[in-house]
């Protein structure tokens, strides 16, 4: 795969299935419904189809939620659950994913370097 460099984001990367991981964070109903910067249906379409690609390419997937076990939040949106049904979900109590030990261990266990990240 060709290496790319985007000078505006200063992110050089060579992304291919063998050196990539898919990290999904907080696609829960309250978070999705709070998005106003884009159409919510488009957001759901994008994450669901990106997750489908990750599954089809056999990428390691780390899926995280926040405060589901405490009852403060609901589980991930159903459309995403349907695609990631065989992927464990790491529920956190902290907003910052990297502060959660289990989440961080799961990311490190992929053996992939999360050098470039994208969020909604």
Q: How far apart are CA 51 and CA 57, in angstroms?
A: 10
Task: Compute the average pLDDT of residues 31-54.
Answer: 94
Give a yes or no: residue 56 inside a domain.
Answer: yes
pLDDT digits (tens, 9 = 90+) for 72-94: 999 999 999 999 999 999 999 99
Give a yes or no: residue 117 inside a domain.
Answer: no
Give a yes or no: residue 98 inside a domain.
Answer: yes
Give a yes or no: residue 115 inside a domain.
Answer: no
Reported as a pLDDT band with limits 50, 70 and 90, residue 9 is very low
Give a yes or no: residue 27 inside a domain.
Answer: yes
Task: Compute the average pLDDT of residues 97-112.
Answer: 92
**Percent of the chain clearing pLDDT 70 (strictly above):** 81
Task: Compute the average pLDDT of residues 111-117.
Answer: 67
Number of domains into which the chain is organized: 1
Terminal Cα distance for the chain, rounded: 25
Q: Domain range holding 78?
A: 23-109
Give a yes or no: residue 73 inside a domain.
Answer: yes
Report the alpha-carbon angle 37-43-45, nearest 5.
155
Give a yes or no: residue 8 inside a domain.
Answer: no
Check which CATH number belongs to the domain holding 55 and give it.
3.40.50.850
Give a yes or no: residue 7 inside a domain.
Answer: no
């Amino acid at each position: 795969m060709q290496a790319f460099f985007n000078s505006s984001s200063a992110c050089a990367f060579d992304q291919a299935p063998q050196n990539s991981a898919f990290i999904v964070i907080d696609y829960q109903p309250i978070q999705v419904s709070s998005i106003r910067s884009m159409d919510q249906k488009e957001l759901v379409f994008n994450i669901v189809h990106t997750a489908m690609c990750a599954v089809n390419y056999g990428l390691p997937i780390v899926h995280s939620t926040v405060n589901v076990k405490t009852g403060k939040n609901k589980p991930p949106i159903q459309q995403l659950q349907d695609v990631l049904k065989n992927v464990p979900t790491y529920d956190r109590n902290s907003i910052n994913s990297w502060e959660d030990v289990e989440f961080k261990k799961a990311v490190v266990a992929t053996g992939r370097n999360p050098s470039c990240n994208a969020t909604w």
